Each structure stands twice: as structure tokens, then as C-alpha cells.
Amino acid sequence: MTTAQRPTLEAVAKRAGVSRATVSRVVNGSTTVAEPIQQAVRRAVEELGYVPNLAARSLVTQRTDSVALVMPEAATRVFSDDQVFPGIIRGAAQELEAADKQLVLMLAGSPAGHERVERYTTGRHVDGVLFASLHGEDPLPGRLARLGIPVVCSGRPLDGAEVPYVDVDHVGGVTRAVRYLIENGRRRIATIAGPQDMVAGIERLEGYRNTITEAGLPVLVAYGDFTRESGTAAMRQLLAEHPDLDAVFAASDLMAHAALRTLREAGRRVPQDVAVIGFDDIETAAYTEPPLTTVRQPIVELGRAMTRQLLRIAAGEEIEQALMLPTELVVRESA
């Protein structure tokens, strides 16, 4: 490494013929510096190609200008093609870019990874922490909040910690989907539920159960984990246990996609024999056979909203503890 010696504040000060303090003021946009001096300093900065040393700044300001985005899933599942995590990353990246802060991505799937995230975040190496999709009852968000470190989760923390969160309206979306099925004359409506250790899985099932029960219809459930493979297994199980079902609400588009194929293999026509509705509205949903009717969730906006909340907390503002983003039923041809 040639490690060309970087210019420091000192060097700029010397070149501009002023003190370090003045250069620092100019660089940080203080207004109390005379215009001609500002000019001179800026020219020196330009000529020397000066870039502030963030470590040094961070050491004295106690800020790092970076935010951690923690994905608590196993690495292999984080980036399945449901686009949830990429969407959140993208939203967070956009919002942080506007705030000129860095995005540090951390995977906490393995015990080692989780321990690493804990060390790093409790060690205050970031100005705030974003948690995407909690699994089970992770105590970390609550602990960080108690340490006074800004935290925002996607979805209500399952351990009941008083941590700010942003979530999409799972229940509302599912309710609309199930009602739509009922209005269209479906009476044997089954669901492929998501994992019950995640808010998304829990609330989508709750939405189904409430709406179905309210309508006096039978609750028919099989469980998956949001993936296509699990959707296939769940659909087969439903078909075996309730051969007379006439509709399926799947808690994810991936599972709905698998259900579509499984139904076709079983000789059922969609939507004539069985209507299918998914949840997510991934890109692929418009390209399934038939195109999938589904509940759209604003996933990039979720990432943005979480980040905006975090920045507000970090800025010392008071924020509402929960923020809910609307979902929407997108009707295509599968129901």
C-alpha cells in the first residue's frame, strides 16, 4: 500500500495561513468566519484534497454518523426472493443517503453473528440500530433502548419491550383479502400461515382467523415458513385434509406461488375451483400462472419510515412508539 500521506487540518491551516480551529469552523459550516478567510480555507482544502478523518472527528464528537441495519435471520434465508430484506435495505439506504450517514449491514443469523451484533451495537459504534424482522423474542432491541441507544424495529417486538417500531397493516390487508373471497362466494377458505415466531406470521394468521370466524366459516390452517418449499408441503396437506376447499389465503407470495403449482398438479383450476390470494406483491406475482391476486405491502417505504424514525430519535425528538403503513389488495386473476 502506497498510503499516500493524507493532508490533515494542520496542513490546510498552514496553507491557508490560519489556525486549525478556523479551518475546522469552515469545514463544518460555521457562519462566524469572515468571508475572505472562508475563501482562502476552501481553496486550500481544494488544492490539498483534504478529507476530514472521521475517526478523529468521531472520537471527539461521540457520534459515528453511521447506522446499523440488523437482519436477524439466518444468512441463507435473508435474501430469498421475497424481496423483503432487499426492500428494507433499499429504503434505509435512500433515507440515510439523504442524511449523509453510512449504512452498516449486519447479519445476526448465527449465534456468533448475534453476539457480534450485540458487541458492536452496545459498544456504541453506531448512532442507531435498525432491526429488520425480529425472530422470536430477541432481547437485544430492548436492551439497546434501555442503554439509550436509538432503536427502531420493523414490527412489534415479541418480547413486549417498549421499543419504537414501524409495521405494515397485516391484519387490515388480510381482512380485506378474506372478505373479498367471502364476497365472491367462497365458503371453504383455508390459509397457509407463516411462522408463528414472527409478527408477520402471527398477525396474518390472526387477521384470517378473525375474519373467518366472524363470518361463521370453518378455520382451515396449515403452517409454512414463507418459503416456496414450505408452501408446497402446506398446500398438499390442506388438499389432503380438506379436499373440498374452494379458496386459499397464503401468508406470502412465495407460498401462494407454490400453492398455485401444487393445485395445478392436483388437477384443480385456479380460480374456478380454488381461488388463491397471496401477501407481499413481489414482482413475480404479476407473472405467475394465473397472475396472483395479493395484498401489497409497501416494503421500501417500511425501510424509509424506520430510518426516518430512527433519525428523529437520534435528534432527540419525541416520536410515537408505533407507526403503521397501509396495505392494499391487488386483484389479478387468481381470485
Partner DNA sequence: TTGTAAGCGTTATCAT
Partner DNA sequence: ATGATAACGCTTACAA
Query: Where does this chain bind DNA (CB under 7 A)?
Result: 6, 8-10, 17-22, 24-25, 27-28, 32-34, 37, 50-53, 56-57, 59-61
- What three-state secondary structure class fits 159? coil
Residue 166 in grid coordinates: 414501524
Q: In what order do the strands lie in the sheet with 247-250?
A: 220-223, 189-193, 247-250, 275-280, 293-296, 328-330
**Toward DNA, which CB reaches closer, 51 or 331?**
51
Which does residue 37 bind out of DNA, its own copies, none, counting CB within 5 to 8 angstroms by kind?
DNA
Residue 315 in grid coordinates: 435528534
**Toward DNA, which CB reaches closer, 40 or 177?**
40
Stretch that binds its own copies, among 75-83, 129-137, 196-204, 244-252 (CB under 8 A): 75-83
Which does residue 22 bind out of DNA, its own copies, none, counting CB within 5 to 8 angstroms by kind?
DNA
Q: How far is the CB of 104 from its own copies (least distance, A)?
A: 5
**Toward DNA, which CB reaches closer, 57 or 114?**
57
Amino acid at 126: V
Which does residue 64 bind out of its own copies, DNA, none, counting CB within 5 to 8 angstroms by kind?
its own copies
Exposed (0-12), middle (13-18) or buried (19+): which is 302, by Cβ within 10 Å? buried
- What three-state secondary structure class fits 162? coil
**Toward its own copies, which CB reaches closer, 206 or 301?**
301
Which does residue 27 bind out of its own copies, DNA, none, counting CB within 5 to 8 angstroms by kind?
DNA
Exposed (0-12), middle (13-18) or buried (19+): which is 60, by Cβ within 10 Å? exposed
In the chain, what are the helix, strand and coil shares in percent, each to the nearest 5? 45, 15, 40
Q: Does residue 80 bind its own copies (CB under 8 A)?
A: yes
Distance CA 41, CA 117 (A): 40
Q: How far is the CB of 81 from its own copies (least distance, A)?
A: 5
Residue partners of 159: CB distance under 8 A and separation at least 6 = 137, 138, 139, 142
Stretch that binds its own copies, among 110-118, 194-202, 207-215, 218-226 (CB under 8 A): 110-118
* Mask for 46-65, x = binds its own copies (CB under 8 A): ---x-xxxxxx-xx--x-x-
Which does residue 133 bind out of its own copies, DNA, none, counting CB within 5 to 8 angstroms by kind?
none
Distance CA 55, CA 50 (A): 15
Number of alpha carbons in the 13 Å side-chain half-sphere of residue 110: 5
Distance CA 163, CA 310 (A): 11
Which position among 14, 124, 187, 312 is part of the footprint of its own copies (CB under 8 A)? Answer: 124
Q: Does residue 103 bind its own copies (CB under 8 A)?
A: yes
Residue 69 in grid coordinates: 441495519
**Interacting residue ranges for its own copies, rule: CB under 8 A:** 1-4, 6, 49, 51-56, 58-59, 62, 64, 66, 75, 78-81, 83, 85-87, 89-90, 93-94, 97, 100, 102-107, 112-113, 116, 119-120, 122-125, 147-150, 228, 257-258, 261, 282-284, 287, 289, 316
